[in-house]
Amino acid sequence: AQSVSQHNHHVILSEAASLELGCNYSYGGTVNLFWYVQYPGQHLQLLLKYFSGDPLVKGIKGFEAEFIKSKFSFNLRKPSVQWSDTAEYFCAVGSKADKLIFGTGTRLQVFP
């Protein structure tokens, strides 16, 4: 069965700290991977996506993620977080049938 695991449920950081959020997936076919973000009071929006090619994907606002096929992982990183990065982050795996399966989310709080 397809599934997505996000290991960190709640992460608290100070500004300028580095961030890495874990995401592991289980999927039998060609995989498309996504990170979505939900800022307080806002819609879910796409942060970055991986379909094929370079496994290091760069997204908006300085975020990046690395697809490691052997580890079934797609961890999200940012070298230096800002207070405005406070949000909930969701990893998702998608099939060619356009179906998304989301992880449980990681709540990130960044303190000035």
| Contact residues: other proteins, CB under 8 A | 4, 30, 32, 36, 42-46, 49, 51, 90, 92, 94-105
Q: Which two tokens stand for residue 7?
A: 């290991």
Of the pair 19, 33, the CB lying nearest other proteins is at 33
Q: How far is the CB of 32 from other proteins (least distance, A)?
A: 6
Of the pair 13, 101, the CB lying nearest other proteins is at 101
Q: How far is the CB of 16 from other proteins (least distance, A)?
A: 29
Q: How far is the CB of 15 from other proteins (least distance, A)?
A: 26
